Amino acid sequence: MSDPADTLGRAAERLEPELRRRLTGFVGQMAQAYLPQTWLFVTEAGAASLTVTGAGRLTVQDGPTPQPDVTVRITQQHLVQALDRPSGGPLPAGAAQVTGHTAKGRAAFELLRGRLGL
């Protein structure tokens, strides 16, 4: 597995229980309208795709998947920093280039931008 897949896999294990809890109730049902989604993360160490299902399951695939909702180009160091740190200060300006390929992907990124430190 590539470094991005390992990093995303560790984050997915930690974040999935929280995500599943947040998808319950009225607000959670509204969030489910944006799911499923796949985000492609591209670093100098490789590429990996993270998919979130409507039930809040997180899966990681080594390499790209066709037609991601969002592509994030970021250094491996900044990916680790964004996913492995507690929510806090932002990454350096320009640390990531984010391209939303779908309307739901762009909307989700705007909602998660602060959580990822971007």
pLDDT in tens, 35-76: 899 999 999 999 999 999 988 899 999 999 999 999 999 999
Residue 25 pLDDT class (50, 70, 90 cuts): confident
Average pLDDT, the chain: 86
The number of folded domains in the chain is: 1
In this predicted model, what pLDDT tens digit does every residue of 81-107 receive, in sequence order? 888 766 556 778 888 899 999 999 988
What are 47-55's contacts with CB under 8 Å, separation 24+? 47/2, 47/4, 48/1, 48/2, 48/4, 48/5, 48/7, 48/8, 50/8, 50/12, 52/19, 54/23, 55/20, 55/23
Q: Which domain holds residue 57?
A: 3-116
Could you give the 3-state DSSP secondary structure of residue 38? strand
Question: What pTM, to 2 d.p., does this model score?
Answer: 0.88
Residue 24 belongs to a domain with what CATH number? Answer: 3.30.1050.10
